[in-house]
C-alpha cells in the first residue's frame, strides 16, 4: 500500500519510535560456551578480537555467551532497601459520599493530619493506604476545599491480611519463576508515587508536569504534549526503579471562546457568529471536563461538568423547562441579570446525559490537566513523534531533570519506608550478536549493516511461479493523469525484470467510479482469471478497508493497494521496489532466506506467531481480533494466517486466544500439505501479553496447541517465547557516538540477559533494528515453555535471525517475523469489521466474514 518500512520499535507514552544504531563496545571478544550440541546447534563465539573473561552468570538459569561483549547503561536506578522495615501494614480507606476521585487525596491529607496525628501513610488515591506504623481503625469527618466546600466521612480499617512482607523483596531471587512478591511491589509503587502527586498530573504510572512549570508542545487542534516521569519497581537480580520520560497529549486549558476562535472558526467571534459544521467541535469536547464559571450576579462558585455534546439549537433558540415554565437559555440568563455575548452559539450539553443541562459556551473553560482516555488523531500522533523522538543523550537529560524536580529521597514517606534511590543509571554487561547473511537467487548474498541491506544485483530467492495476469484500477474522478498510470505500469515491469517477479508484459488499466463500481470490476477480473490487481486509492471515496473487504471476503482476488499521492507525486524506483517485496510474497514467492549456518539446522520447524488487538476505550461495542500466522516452508519465509473475533467474560477484552486448538489444527494441516509431514518443533512467538498473563497463556493457549497436536497423533517439541514491547527499559551506549549515529543508539543485535532479568527466568532484552528516529526500544523475550531444551544461545541468535525475515522491507525489524506477521493478520481482521454495526456474537460475526476459501489456499500470504 504505499512505501513500506520495517517496524520500528521504541515507544514514548504510546508513540512509536523507530529502530537503533551505534554501540560502544568494551573491545574484547567473548568465547562461545563449551560442551557439545543442544537442539542441533553448536555454540560459538563471534569472530575477531581478543578473547575476554566469561560474563557473570546470575541465578540458576544459563545465560547467553555469543557475541562481542561490552557494556551499556540502563535506565534503572539502584534501590537501597537495607533500612526498609520487614513488614508494612495495608488499610482499606472508604470515603463517603461518592465524589470525583480527584478530590480524595486532599481529603485524605486533611484526615491524616487531623485524625491520624500526622502519621506517615502512603495513599493510592482510591481505596488503600500503607504504613510502617500500626494504626487504629478510625472514622472522621473532614472538609475538602476545592473551589467549594465538600464534606467527607473517611474510615480507615485494617484489611483481612494486613501485613505486607516487604522482606520478600530481599528473598525473591530464590523463589520460583511466578512467585513474585506482588503485594510488596504494589505497596512500594504507592510509596514511590508519594512525592509526585502534589506537583504533577498522574496518568498510569507516569507523572506529568503541567504546562505552567513543565516542558510543553502544541500538537494542534487544541491539544498539547506534556513531559512526564514514568517510574516503576522492577525485579532483576535485585530490585530496581525503572525511570523513563513519557509524553502524553492533553487538552489545552483555555476559555471555550478562545478554542473556537483558534481551532474551529479560525476567526474572531462576534455576537452574530454561528458554529456551522460542528463535527470537529463535537469530536473534541465529548467526554472532556469543563469549568463553568457563572456570572457574578449568580454568586456561586465554579462547577466542573463532563461534556456530552452540543445543544440541538443555539442559545437564543434552545428551550428548557424551569418551574413549569418554558424559556430559552438566553431568556434565563437575562432574567438573572446577564446578557449573553454570543447568543447564536450552541450551548454545551453537560452532566448526566438524561438531564438537559445546557451551559453557554462563553461561560465555560477547559479544565487543565485532563488525562483523556482516547485515541489521538493522525495529526496529533505525527506531531507527538516529532516532539518525543530524541537521542539517548537528550532522553537521559530529560529523565535526570525530572528526577531532580520530584526529589524522591527528601520525601518523608519514602524516607519513613527506609528506601533510598540512587541518582544515576546502572551499567550492565551486553553482547553484540552477528547479523546473519541473507541468501538470494543463484547463491548471491546480502550482508546486513546496521540493521539494513541492499539488494544490489540480487533477485528474489524464489520468484513467482508463472507470468501472472495483472490489472491496474484507478478512480476516474481522482485527477490522476493517464500517463502517470502508464509510467507506474512501466516501472513495475522494469523492476519485475530486475528482481525476477513474473508479471505479464502489459497490465489491463481500468477506471472505477466509486465503491459500488468496484464490484463489477472485481467480479469480471476474477472471471477472467487475473492474479493481481493494483488499486490506486483515491484521496476521497473508496477506502482501503472497503477494497480489502470486497476483494478478500466477496470475490477472492489478490489486490495491492497504493495511495493516489504516491503514484502522482512520489513515484520512484525505491517506492516500486518496496511494493514488489510485498507482491512477490503475495504471489507465493520467497524474497530471501538465512544463509545455512548451525542456527538454521533446527529442521522441520513450524514458526508460529500470535497477537491480539483490542478496541480503543471508546469502541466498547467492537470485539478483540486474534491474528495467528504460521510458516509452511523449510526457510521460515512463507506463512499462512488465521484470524478470529472474540470477547472475554462480560464482554471485556480477553488477551488469551480462546480458539487456539482449531486455529493450530488448521495451521498444522497446511504445514502437512506443503511439507508432507508434521513439524518436529513448534517455536511460538506470542505478542501482546503482560507479565501477569503468562500463566494464562501457558494454561490455555499452550494447552490448545497440545490438544491440536494430540488429535493428530503428534508430539512436536514446543518452545513458547513471549514478546514484550510494552515496557520502559532503554539502552544507553557508553562513550562518544559515531557521527553517522544521530540518535546515539546501540547497534542492532545488542542483547542484555544479566542483572536486569529475573534470576530464575529465561529472559533477555534485544535491540534488533536500526533507529530511524528517537531512542530505540529493546524487545523483551520471556521463554515460558521449552520442552526441547533449546539452548539460550540458539534461541537468542534464532530470534535475531528471524528479525531479518520480515518480507515487507530490507531491514531487520524490532521483533521476529512470525510475531510481526501475526500482528498484520490481526490488523487485517480489524479491516474486515470496519464500518459495520456488530449485533451478533463474535463467533457469528466471524462466520459472516470468512475469507474466500480458494483464495486463502492459493495466496496464503495475501495479508502481507
Query: What is the pLDDT at residue 56?
Result: 60
> Over the chain, what is the mean pLDDT?
88
Is residue 379 within a helix (H) or strand (E), and if so which, with residue range? helix 378-388
Cell, residue 425: 543509571
Query: What is the pLDDT at residue 50?
Result: 36
| Residues in a beta bridge with 351 | none
pLDDT 10s digits, 35-63: 333 333 333 333 333 334 556 655 578 99
3-state secondary structure of 26: strand
Query: What is the pLDDT at residue 518?
Result: 94
Check whether 23 has a pLDDT greater than 80: no
The position carrying cell 439549537 is: 313
How much of the chain, in percent, has pLDDT values that exceed 70?
90
Cell, residue 824: 498484520
Topology of the domain comprising 256-366: paz domain (2.170.260)
Residue 526 has phi, psi (to 5 degrees) of -65, -45
**What is d(CA 493, CA 470) in angstroms, rounded to the nearest whole number?**
11
> What's the Cα-to-Cα distance from 403 to each of 75, 229, 774, rounded to whole Å?
12, 8, 21
Count of CB atoms situated within 10 Å of the CB of 161: 8
Check whether 24 has a pLDDT greater than 80: no
**What is d(CA 808, CA 790) in angstroms, rounded to the nearest whole number?**
29
Sheet containing 532-537: which strands, arranged edge to edge? Answer: 508-512, 470-475, 532-537, 559-563
**What is d(CA 257, CA 251) in angstroms, rounded to the nearest whole number?**
14
From the list 120, 725, 749, the residue with the least C-alpha distance to 414 is: 120
Residue 88 has phi, psi (to 5 degrees) of -120, 165
Query: What is the pLDDT at residue 345?
Result: 95
Domain locations in the chain as residue ranges: 256-366, 438-586
From the list 684, 698, 612, 685, the residue with the least C-alpha distance to 648 is: 612
pLDDT 10s digits, 769-793: 998 889 999 999 999 999 999 999 9
pLDDT 10s digits, 670-683: 999 999 999 999 99
From the list 473, 514, 417, the residue with the least C-alpha distance to 191 is: 417
**What is d(CA 110, CA 812) in angstroms, rounded to the nearest whole number?**
56
**What is d(CA 76, CA 841) in angstroms, rounded to the nearest whole number?**
45
Pairing type for strands 639-646 and 731-733 reads: unpaired
Kindly state the average pLDDT of the residues 314-323: 91
**What is d(CA 515, CA 537) in angstroms, rounded to the nearest whole number?**
11
Strand blocks (E) in 188-278: 201-203, 206-208, 216-220, 223-235, 239-251
In this structure, the dihedral spanned by the alpha carbons of residues 221, 223, 224 and 225, taken in order and rounded to 10 degrees, is -110
What does pTM read for this prediction? Answer: 0.89
Query: What is the pLDDT at residue 366?
Result: 96
pLDDT 10s digits, 732-743: 998 776 667 789
Q: Exposed, middle or buried by CB within 10 Å (0-12, 13-18, 19+), for 853?
A: exposed
Strand blocks (E) in 486-604: 508-512, 532-537, 559-563, 593-594
Between helix 573-586 and helix 482-499 the angle, nearest 10°, is 60
Work out the end-to-end distance of the chain between its first and last CA atoms, rounded to an integer number of angstroms.
Answer: 10
Check whether 15 has a pLDDT greater than 60: no
pLDDT 10s digits, 94-134: 998 887 777 889 889 989 998 999 999 999 999 999 999 99
**What is d(CA 559, CA 549) in angstroms, rounded to the nearest whole number?**
11
pLDDT 10s digits, 149-203: 778 899 999 999 999 999 999 888 876 656 679 999 999 999 999 999 988 999 9
Topology of the domain comprising 438-586: Rossmann fold (3.40.50)
Query: What is the pLDDT at residue 27?
Result: 30
Dihedral sign computed on CA atoms, order 780, 786, 792, 796 = negative
State CA 108 to chain mean position distance.
Answer: 35
**What is d(CA 102, CA 83) in angstroms, rounded to the nearest whole number?**
33
Check whether 730 has a pLDDT greater than 60: yes
Higher per-residue confidence, 347 vs 619? 347
Query: What is the pLDDT at residue 57?
Result: 58
Strand blocks (E) in 393-550: 420-432, 438-439, 445-446, 470-475, 508-512, 532-537
Query: What is the pLDDT at residue 477?
Result: 75
Q: Cβ neighbours of residue 782 under 8 Å, at least 6 residues apart?
A: 694, 721, 722, 724, 761, 762, 763
**What is d(CA 779, CA 796) in angstroms, rounded to the nearest whole number?**
12
**What is d(CA 683, CA 801) in angstroms, rounded to the nearest whole number?**
14
From the list 823, 847, 819, the residue with the least C-alpha distance to 833 is: 847
Pairing type for strands 346-350 and 357-360 reads: antiparallel
Count of CB atoms situated within 10 Å of the CB of 515: 15
Contact criterion met (CB below 8 Å) for 422 and 93: no
Kindly state the average pLDDT of the residues 491-504: 95
**What is d(CA 499, CA 9) in angstroms, rounded to the nearest whole number?**
29
Query: What is the pLDDT at residue 615?
Result: 83
pLDDT tier at 493, thresholds 50, 70, 90: very high
Query: What is the pLDDT at residue 310?
Result: 95
pLDDT tier at 838, thresholds 50, 70, 90: confident
Count of CB atoms situated within 10 Å of the CB of 322: 11
pLDDT tier at 651, thresholds 50, 70, 90: low
**What is d(CA 585, CA 637) in angstroms, rounded to the nearest whole number?**
9
From the list 328, 338, 327, the residue with the least C-alpha distance to 363 is: 338
**What is d(CA 249, CA 262) in angstroms, rounded to the nearest whole number?**
18
Dihedral sign computed on CA atoms, order 573, 578, 582, 584 = positive
| Residues in a beta bridge with 25 | 70
**What is d(CA 753, CA 57) in angstroms, rounded to the nearest whole number?**
9
Lowest mean pLDDT among 72-86, 288-302, 588-602, 819-833: 588-602
From the list 105, 367, 362, 361, the residue with the least C-alpha distance to 211 is: 367
Query: What is the pLDDT at residue 52?
Result: 44
Cell, residue 162: 494486613
From the list 669, 679, 697, 657, the residue with the least C-alpha distance to 825 is: 657
Check whether 237 has a pLDDT greater than 60: yes
Dihedral sign computed on CA atoms, order 114, 116, 117, 121 = negative
From the list 416, 421, 407, the residue with the least C-alpha distance to 121 is: 416
**What is d(CA 214, CA 226) in angstroms, rounded to the nearest whole number?**
7
The position carrying cell 513467482 is: 464
pLDDT 10s digits, 527-555: 999 999 999 998 877 799 999 999 999 99
Rg, Å, the chain Cα set: 30
How much of the chain, in percent, has pLDDT values that exceed 90?
73
Dihedral sign computed on CA atoms, order 120, 124, 126, 129 = negative
3-state secondary structure of 586: helix
Kindly state the average pLDDT of the residues 324-353: 94
Amino acid at each position: 500500500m504505499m512505501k513500506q518500512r520495517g517496524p520500528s520499535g521504541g515507544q514514548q507514552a504510546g508513540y512509536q519510535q523507530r529502530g537503533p544504531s551505534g554501540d560502544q563496545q568494551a573491545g574484547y571478544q567473548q568465547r562461545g560456551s563449551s560442551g557439545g550440541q543442544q537442539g542441533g546447534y553448536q555454540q560459538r563465539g563471534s569472530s575477531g578480537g581478543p578473547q575476554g573473561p566469561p560474563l557473570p552468570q546470575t541465578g540458576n538459569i544459563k545465560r547467553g555467551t555469543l557475541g562481542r561483549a561490552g557494556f551499556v547503561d540502563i535506565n534503572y536506578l539502584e534501590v537501597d532497601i537495607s533500612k526498609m522495615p520487614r513488614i508494612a501494614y495495608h488499610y482499606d480507606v472508604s470515603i463517603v459520599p461518592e465524589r470525583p476521585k480527584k478530590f480524595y487525596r486532599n481529603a485524605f491529607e486533611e484526615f491524616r493530619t487531623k485524625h491520624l496525628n500526622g502519621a506517615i501513610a502512603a495513599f493510592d488515591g482510591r481505596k488503600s493506604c500503607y504504613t510502617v506504623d500500626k494504626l487504629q481503625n478510625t472514622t472522621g469527618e473532614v472538609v475538602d476545599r476545592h473551589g467549594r466546600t465538600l464534606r467527607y466521612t473517611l474510615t480507615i480499617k485494617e484489611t483481612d491480611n494486613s501485613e505486607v512482607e516487604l522482606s520478600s523483596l530481599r528473598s525473591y531471587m530464590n523463589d520460583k519463576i511466578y512467585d513474585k512478591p506482588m503485594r510488596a511491589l504494589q505497596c512500594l509503587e504507592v510509596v514511590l508515587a508519594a512525592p509526585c502527586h502534589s506537583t504533577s498530573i498522574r496518568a498510569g504510572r507516569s507523572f506529568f508536569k503541567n504546562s505552567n512549570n513543565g516542558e510543553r508542545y502544541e500538537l494542534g487542534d487544541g491539544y498539547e504534549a506534556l513531559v512526564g516521569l514514568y517510574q516503576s519497581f522492577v525485579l532483576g537480580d535485585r530490585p530496581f526503579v525503572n525511570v523513563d520520560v513519557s509524553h502524553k497529549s492533553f487538552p489545552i486549558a483555555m476559555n471555550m471562546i478562545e478554542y473556537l476562535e483558534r481551532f474551529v472558526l479560525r476567526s474572531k467571534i462576534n455576537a452574530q457568529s454561528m458554529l456551522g459544521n460542528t463535527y470537529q467541535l463535537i469530536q473534541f469536547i465529548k467526554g472532556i471536563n469543563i469549568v463553568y464559571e457563572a456570572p457574578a450576579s449568580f454568586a456561586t462558585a465554579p462547577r466542573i461538568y463532563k461534556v456530552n455534546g452540543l445543544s440541538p439549537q443555539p442559545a437564543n433558540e434552545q428551550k428548557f423547562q424551569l418551574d413549569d415554565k418554558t424559556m430559552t437559555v438566553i431568556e434565563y440568563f437575562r432574567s438573572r441579570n446577564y446578557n449573553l455575548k454570543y447568543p447564536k452559539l450552541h450551548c454545551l450539553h453537560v452532566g448526566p446525559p438524561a438531564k438537559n443541562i445546557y451551559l453557554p459556551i462563553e461561560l465555560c473553560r477547559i479544565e487543565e490537566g485532563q488525562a483523556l482516555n482516547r485515541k489521538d488523531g493522525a495529526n496529533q500522533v505525527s506531531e507527538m513523534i516529532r516532539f518525543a523522538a530524541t537521542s539517548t543523550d537528550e532522553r537521559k537529560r530529560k529523565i535526570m531533570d525530572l528526577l531532580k524536580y520530584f526529589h524522591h529521597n527528601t520525601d518523608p514517606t519514602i524516607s519513613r519506608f527506609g528506601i533510598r534511590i540512587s541518582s544515576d543509571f546502572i551499567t550492565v554487561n551486553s553482547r553484540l550478536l552477528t547479523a546473519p547473511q541473507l541468501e538470494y537467487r543463484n547463491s548471491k548474498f546480502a550482508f546486513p549493516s546496521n540493521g539494513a541491506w541492499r539488494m544490489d544485483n540480487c533477485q528474489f530467492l524464489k520468484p513467482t511461479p508463472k507470468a501472472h495476469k495483472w490489472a491496474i484500477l484507478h478512480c476516474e474522478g481522482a485527477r490522476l493523469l493517464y500517463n502517470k498510470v502508464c509510467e507506474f505500469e512501466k516501472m513495475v515491469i522494469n523492476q519485475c525484470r530486475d528482481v525476477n517477479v513474473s508479471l505479464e508484459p502489459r497490465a489491463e488499466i481500468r477506471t472505477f467510479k466509486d465503491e459500488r463500481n468496484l464490484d463489477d470490476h472485481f467480479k469480471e477480473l476474477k472471471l477472467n482469471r487475473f492474479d493481481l490487481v493494483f488499486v490506486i486509492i483515491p484521496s476521497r471515496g473508496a477506502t482501503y478497508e472497503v477494497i480489502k473487504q470486497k476483494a478478500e471476503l466477496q470475490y477472492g482476488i489478490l489486490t495491492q493497494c497504493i495511495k493516489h499521492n504516491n503514484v502522482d507525486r512520489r513515484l520512484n524506483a525505491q517506492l516500486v521496489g518496496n511494493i514488489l517485496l510485498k507482491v512477490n510474497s503475495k504471489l507465493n514467492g520467497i524474497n530471501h532466506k538465512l544463509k545455512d549456518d548451525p542456527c538454521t539446522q533446527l529442521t522441520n520447524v513450524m514458526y508460529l506467531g500470535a497477537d491480539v488487538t483490542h478496541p480503543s476505550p471508546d469502541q466498547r461495542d467492537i470485539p478483540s481480533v486474534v491474528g495467528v500466522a504460521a510458516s509452511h516452508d523449510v526457510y521460515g519465509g512463507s506463512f499462512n494466517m488465521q484470524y478470529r473475533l472474540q470477547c472475554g467474560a462480560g464482554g471485556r477484552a480477553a488477551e488469551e486466544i480462546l480458539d487456539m486448538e482449531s486455529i493450530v489444527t488448521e495451521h498444522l494441516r497446511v504445514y502437512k500439505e506443503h511439507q508432507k509431514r508434521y513439524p518436529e518443533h513448534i517455536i511460538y512467538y506470542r505478542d501482546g501479553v503482560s507479565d501477569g498473563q503468562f500463566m494464562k497463556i501457558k494454561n490455555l493457549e499452550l494447552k490448545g496447541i497440545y490438544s491440536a497436536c494430540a488429535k493428530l497423533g503428534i508430539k512436536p517439541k514446543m518452545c513458547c517465547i513471549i514478546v514484550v514491547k510494552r515496557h520502559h527499559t532503554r539502552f544507553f551506549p557508553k562513550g562518544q557516538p559515531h557521527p553517522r549515529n544521530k540518535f546515539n543508539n546501540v547497534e542492532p543485535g545488542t542483547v542484555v540477559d544479566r542483572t536486569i532479568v529475573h534470576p530464575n527466568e529465561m529472559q533477555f532484552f534485544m535491540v534488533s533494528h536500526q533507529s530511524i528516529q528517537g531512542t530505540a526500544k529493546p524487545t523483551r523475550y520471556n521463554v515460558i515453555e521449552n520442552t526441547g531444551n533449546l539452548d539460550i544461545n540458539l534461541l537468542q541468535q534464532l530470534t535475531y535471525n528471524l528479525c531479518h525475515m520480515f518480507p515487507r522491507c530490507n531491514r531487520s525489524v524490532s521483533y521476529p517475523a512470525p510475531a510481526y506477521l501475526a500482528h498484520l493478520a490481526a490488523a487485517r481482521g480489524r479491516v474486515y469489521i470496519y464500518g459495520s454495526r456488530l449485533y451478533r456474537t463474535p463467533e457469528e460475526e466471524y462466520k459472516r466474514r470468512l475469507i474466500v476459501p480458494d483464495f486463502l489456499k492459493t495466496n496464503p500470504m495475501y495479508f502481507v
